[in-house]
Amino acid sequence: MTVTTAPDRPVTGETPLPPDTAESPGHTRPALLMMAPFLVLYLLFVIGPTLYMFLMSLFDTSLVRPGLGSFAGLRNYTEALGDAAFWASMWHTLWFTILTTPPLVILAFLLALMADRVRRGRWFFRLAFFLPYILPSAVVALIWMWMYTPELGLLSRMVTALGFAEPSWLGDPDLAMWSLALTTVWWTLGFNFVLYLAGLQDIPRELYEAASMDGAGPVQQVRRITVPMLSRTTSLVVVLQVIASLKVFDQMYIMTSGGPNFSTRPALEYIYDVSFTDFRVGYASAVSTLFFLLILAVSTVWVVLTRRQEERL
């Protein structure tokens, strides 16, 4: 889950709060009480498991045995880093990110750009593009598995009607990831579309007016005004998209089970497999930690980005 600050957040006219160290008498106890429900749950179910994960990664912990098991040192990490299956799953995650991010950013931008120019029926476009995003992944997967069904599926039939040989959408190891990416673009495009649409509405119309008077055509207007003005939104969309793509699991789990022949198994499914099929929770924790660090690195980029943008506001 990630967030960025609102561009149009009301700026408070208050005097800034006193420095961090300031403490008003009688505030500490009620403050702790009001924060307690959140902090307790946060410590128990977020911070605690994080530390527990680090700890287990140093042991041969088993899913079906109590306790941590025997101490393994860094062996779980060296095993993961030397394991072809681990690298394959990391690569599949990365490959999926590479396949999905450009279309999800560029197509969303173009569609929002066009929708911004159409005055009537904007609700319809929002509905069409955003509705899939609200669907559970399981529903999306069921619908698309039906679309991809050999011989009977709508897509297969469209392709054969055009005179091509029918592709094995999810059965061909070279094609399966593309099919999953296509489904994902359909599913999540609406989110970026809405972000871009909001960004576009913040651009003052006068800029376009002025450009028109200077004789700039629509394409020039887009290039000289829209794209630069939207750079903030774009960096946000890209980072959010990368993080979301790295966490991919649902589509693969339901549509291909990571197959055929593990060719689409992403990092999260690898973790799922080693911990809950092989019971190797210690090793899975080491893999989880590596995955955790990867996401953390990307998220840090994002935090730095938003912080910097806030300072500029």
Partner 1 sequence: MTTITAPTVTRESVDRRIKLFNATCAGVLIAFAVIWLVPIAWAVDTSIKPNSETTNPTWAIQDPTLESYRTLLSQGSIWNWYASSFITSTLTAAATVLTGSMAAFALSRMRFRFRWLIFWFVLIGIMIPQQALIVAQFREFAALQLLNTYWAVVLPQVPAAIAVFIFKQFFDGVPRDLDEAARVDGAGFFRTYWRVVMPLSRPVVAAVAIFTFVWSWNNLLWPLLVMTNPKLMTIPVGLATVQGTYGIRYADTMASAILGALPLVLLFLFFQRRIVEGIAGTGLKG
Partner 2 sequence: MDRRTLLRGMLAGAGAAGLAGCSSPVVAGLANTPLDQGTVEYWDLFGGGDGVRMQQMVANYRAANPGTPVQAVTLAWGNPYYTKLSLATVGAKPPNVAVSHLTRMLTLQRGNLLQELRPEDLARHGMAPEMFNKRAWEAGLVDGRAYAIPLDTHPIVLFYNTDICGEAGLLDAGGALKPIEGPDALADAFAKAQQVTGQFGATHGIDADPATCWRLFHTLYGQLGGEVIADDGTRVVLDDAKALQVLEYLRSLTVERRLMPGSIDYQGAIALFAAGASGFHINGEWEISTFQTAKMPFGMTLVPNVFGGTYVVHADSHTLVLPRRDDQTPGQLDLSLGFVKALLDQSMNWAEGGHVPTWLPVADSEAYRKLTPQSNYAAAADAAVYDPPAWYTGSGSNFENVMGSAVGAVEGGQLTPQAAIEQLRSRLSALAALPSPV
Of residues 121-180, those binding partner 1 (CB under 8 A)? 123-132, 134-139, 141-144, 146-147, 149, 152, 154, 157
Say which DSSP state 112 is in. Answer: H
- Residue identified by tokens 């999926």 is 96
Sign of CA dihedral 51, 56, 62, 66: negative
Q: Which of 77, 95, 178, 249 binds partner 1 (CB under 8 A)?
A: 249
Residue 174 or 215: the one with the smaller Cβ distance to partner 1 is: 215
Interface with partner 1 in residues 178-207 (CB under 8 A)? 186, 189, 191, 194-195, 197-198
90, 173, 115, 183: which is closest to 144 by C-alpha? Answer: 183
Question: Which of 216, 225, 229, 305 touches partner 1 by CB under 8 A?
Answer: 216
Indicate the angle between helix axes 176-201 and 84-117, nearest 10 degrees.
40
- Does 140 participate in binding partner 2 (rule CB under 8 A)? no
Q: Which is nearer to partner 2, 56 or 200 (CB)?
A: 56
Q: Does 165 bind partner 2 (CB under 8 A)?
A: no
C-beta of 52 vs 276, nearer to partner 2: 276
Closest CA to 104 of 214, 241, 296, 5: 241
Neighbours of 207 (CB within 10 A): 14
- Other C-beta atoms closer than 10 Å to the C-beta of 226 total 20
From the list partner 1, partner 2, none, pick the one residue 91 interacts with, judged by a Cβ distance below 5 to 8 Å according to partner type. none
Report the site for partner 2 in 239-258 (rule: CB under 8 A).
257
- Under the criterion CB under 8 A, does residue 67 sit at the interface with partner 2? no
Please provide residue 71's backbone torsions phi and psi, each rounded to the nearest 5 degrees. -70, 135
Q: Which does 231 bind (CB under 5 to 8 A by kind): partner 2, partner 1, none?
A: none
Contact between 78 and partner 2 (CB under 8 A)? no
Cβ at position 247, least distance to partner 2 in Å: 20
Closest CA to 306 of 232, 228, 200, 203: 232
Site for partner 1 in 79-118 (CB under 8 A): 111, 113-115, 117-118
Question: What amino acid is encoded at 56 in this protein?
Answer: M
Binding region for partner 1 (CB under 8 A) out of 25-33, 71-79, 89-97, 163-171: 25-33
Minimum distance from residue 72 beta carbon to partner 2 (Å): 8
Of the pair 166, 174, the CB lying nearest partner 1 is at 166
Calculate ∠ Cα 232-98-193, nearest 5°.
45
Q: What minimum distance in Å lies between the beta carbon of 19 and partner 1?
A: 9
Where b means 16+ CB within 10 Å and e means fewer, 54-81 reads eebbbbbbbeeeeebeeebeeebbeebe
Is the Cβ of residue 72 or residue 248 nearer to partner 2 in the bound state? 72
Q: Distances from the Cα of 295 to the Cαs of 50, 101, 286, 289, in angstroms?
A: 14, 16, 14, 10
* Minimum distance of partner 2 from residue 43's CB (angstroms): 23
Q: Please state, in angstroms and rounded to a whole number, the distance separating the CA atoms of residues 244 and 105.
A: 13
Residue 264 near which of partner 1, partner 2, none (CB within 5-8 Å, type-dependent): none
Q: Which residues are near partner 2 by CB under 8 A?
A: 60, 62-65, 69-70, 72, 257, 260-261, 272-273, 276-281
